[in-house]
Amino acid sequence: MQAVSTAGNAVWDPTSPSLTASSPNSSIGGDTLPPFACLTSDLEREMKAEAYSPGTYHVIVNPESFSSLPEYSDTTDNTSMSSSPGSGKDDTTNAGNRKRGRKHNRDNSSLTETGDPNVVILSKFEDSIPISSPGHWRTNMRQSPSRSSTSGSKSSAELVDEVPVQDPVESFDQSYIDTTEQYVEDTRLLLHFRRVVWSHLVQTASRCESPVYDVCNAPGSDIFEQEAATFRPLFHAMMAVSALSLSHQGKGQSIAALQHYQQTLPFLQTSMRSHQDLSSDGVFLTHFLLLIYEIAAAEPGGSNLWSHHLERLLRIILMRNEIFKTEKFPFIIWWVCSIDLYALFSGTGTGEFIATVLKNDMIPSPGYHLYPLGQDGTSVIYPEEMDILPTILQLNHDIFVLAARLGLLASEFRTQSAYANGALINNANSNGSHVFPPQILADREKRLFEIQQALRHLWETSNLAILEQQMDLLPSRSKEMLQHATTLFHASLIYSYTSMWSSQSIETGGGPALEISQRTTAILHVASSIVHAGRFDLRFIVFPLFMAGVASSSSSQKMLALDLLSGIEGNESVGRNVTTTRHVLQIVFQRQTEGYMRKGHALDVDWMEIMIEQGLQMVNFGL
């Protein structure tokens, strides 16, 4: 056997100039973690060890470390879960209580019997799951024990109700939770995330009386929960959004949301060491929830960190597309596109995300928009929906794409208008007015007319008018998707007549009054139906409702729009965006009334200028 040289080895050569515990590896960015003996998970220990030379820290397991594993349960007392003396004296009855107690507290795996703070003896061996491992959610989804015998005969609603009630946070790494009090609070936050936050994200996921088929295997709020079980930044992002939502409802403190948010960022930074890490499911989902958090937390005159997360998401999505070719969570991309569209409509966003996605043909096709997804990755369509829902999904997709084109055109026109106003201010010889060259005005009118005509053509060729009249007869999900499609259609055309650039209404006379009146009436009818049905999770209605309130010439319709917004506002919002929307509409209504009284019209009232004047950010109208 050849001689083995240890010369220069950081571990085995005692003369090697190795790093010490007091000199962290500068390439890692320093060590900000607690002492090694205080760490409670493999992930934390690995992060700590990577900042120092090999051999600095040691983790030891012994036979007792494995005593709690199921394969040893027949030969080992199941109460031997810690290395503390006397643990085997407790009877079997107390074992269950101690097991529950351990879920609420950090285990003693970091305690050492050697006196060396750099050596720990694990009291319980935990089989770790790789972070963001492919297919992780598929293999860990909770299933009802009776699924195989009932899925063919019971409705999805009945099966959901039959899923056994279990510990909401038991699947998370228990090192996330310090105390019993935190355990109780995190359970509360998780339940709120499932019930409120998730419903606001998915919106059209109402129950459907159909056999469940693949629904139990489809990702729901579990797409976040399963990844968060081994990816701490996502866990804190979920808790932050949920805590923020509760604080806005007066049921919690905003400091709790901020604490979880602040804990997300350091762990997220240390988790991203390569392109593979940046493109992981955990990082993707975490940045999505951080985007939701920043939008929900936006304050008047505050920062626009939401745009930072939107830019990050764009880079991540492009990278995931390059690496994986297909997207595991296409509906997340669809949701982000919707967020960017409304930011574009409000003038708060630039539309970079949606423009890039359109340019690269990355907008998910209609078969991937609707939750839940089946095993093949496409939206589950129930038997009673087969005849109509695919058609409505396609219509909704086509209307959305045209609305996005309209929003991008509006952004371009507003930039032109701002440039013209700047030139007017800087021109000392100006007579107080600015006129665009005729060719620019003609081009602007032509491009806007093309999109308006494309919308009208889609409406006429798709028989949307007939579908709109039969809306209440459709299955619930088909009805909700049609409500989304038709109200976005009406709102987009109203927007095209009134809000494409500052002073548009003055220059054009406010658009065709009869058409605008018909479209505002249609929107208010759908909005009233949604509010009266108590479907306050269908927040897609807020932007159309706002546009109807702005454009309507009827005081009674404006008051109805405000009342409906107030009803939505008071029912479990994630953020303050509905409150901001209602506040802006109230100011618009007041100034329009003053305009009618003073000069007989209110064409010069610009809701975007009011937002700027008030220092308001309306990134998303309904969140």
Does residue 160 share a domain with residue 246? yes
Does residue 190 share a domain with residue 114? no
pLDDT of 296 reads 85
On average, the pLDDT of the chain sits at 76
Residue 174 burial class via C-beta count within 10 angstroms: exposed 0-12, middle 13-18, buried 19 and up = buried
345 and 178 Cβ atoms separated by less than 8 Å = no
Does residue 212 share a domain with residue 66? no
Q: 381 in a domain, yes or no?
A: no
How confident is residue 71, by pLDDT bands cut at 50, 70 and 90? low
Q: 420 in a domain, yes or no?
A: yes
374 and 460 Cβ atoms separated by less than 8 Å = no
Q: pLDDT at residue 513 above 50?
A: yes
d(CA 265, CA 310): 15
Q: 20 in a domain, yes or no?
A: no
Q: Which of 320, 352, 368 is the last residue of a domain?
A: 368
Q: From residue 154, how far is each of 162, 210, 456, 477, 486 by CA, in Å?
A: 10, 8, 42, 18, 33
Does residue 224 share a domain with residue 342? yes
Does residue 407 share a domain with residue 364? no
State pLDDT tens for residues 286-312. 999 999 998 888 776 666 788 888 999
State pLDDT tens for residues 275-288. 677 788 999 999 99
Does residue 406 share a domain with residue 333? no
3-state SS, one letter per residue, for 519-538: HHHHHHHHHHHHHHCCCCCC
Residues 6+ apart with CB under 8 A from 578: 539, 542, 565, 568, 569, 621, 622, 623
Q: pLDDT at residue 153 above 70?
A: no
Classified as helix, coil or strand, 54 is coil
Q: 1 in a domain, yes or no?
A: no
Q: 390 in a domain, yes or no?
A: no
Does residue 449 share a domain with residue 302? no
Q: 464 in a domain, yes or no?
A: yes
Does residue 201 share a domain with residue 343? yes
State pLDDT tens for residues 544-597. 999 999 999 999 999 999 999 999 988 877 778 888 899 999 999 999 999 989
Does residue 602 share a domain with residue 455? yes
State pLDDT tens for residues 11-55. 556 665 544 444 444 333 455 567 777 776 665 677 677 677 777
Q: Is the pTM of this model over 0.85?
A: no
Does residue 406 share a domain with residue 345? no
Q: 7 in a domain, yes or no?
A: no
Calculate mean pLDDT across residues 94-101: 43
Please state the domain count of the chain: 3
Does residue 105 share a domain with residue 220? no
Share of the chain above pLDDT 70, in %: 67
DSSP letter at 175? G
Tell me which range, 377-381, 500-504, 563-567, 568-572, is most confidently predicted by mean pLDDT. Answer: 563-567
Q: pLDDT at residue 602 above 70?
A: yes
Domain containing 75 equals 26-121
pLDDT of 14 reads 60
